[in-house]
């Protein structure tokens, strides 16, 4: 819910009708790519690669979330 609110705030009134379907498409692509990359990692490297990849993804998510505070929820 917070993601949709941030997207709606960032896109403005005229962009809401465009950004919500894009959100759904990107979400579905992310799930598909996660399955593909996870399967490739499991096949090529093995399960021992998962903790390192998860740490990288968590750090990336932390960076994105901390920057979204300035863009998605600006002070009024």
Per-residue DSSP letter, 73: S
- Check pLDDT > 90 for residue 75: no
Sign (positive/negative) of CA torsion 49, 50, 53, 59? negative
pLDDT of residue 72: 59
pTM value is 0.67
Contacts of 53 (CB under 8 A, 6+ apart): 41
- Check pLDDT > 70 for residue 63: yes
- Check pLDDT > 90 for residue 68: no
What would the pLDDT profile of 2-57 be if each residue is shown by its tens digit? Answer: 788 888 888 888 888 999 999 999 999 999 999 999 999 999 999 999 999 999 99
């Amino acid at each position: 819910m917070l993601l949709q609110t941030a997207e709606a705030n960032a896109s403005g009134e005229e962009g809401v009708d465009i950004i919500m379907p894009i959100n759904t498409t990107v979400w579905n692509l992310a799930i598909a790519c996660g399955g593909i990359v996870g399967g490739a990692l499991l096949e090529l490297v093995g399960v021992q690669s998962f903790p390192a990849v998860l740490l990288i993804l968590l750090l990336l998510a932390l960076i994105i979330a901390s920057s979204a505070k300035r863009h998605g929820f600006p002070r009024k």
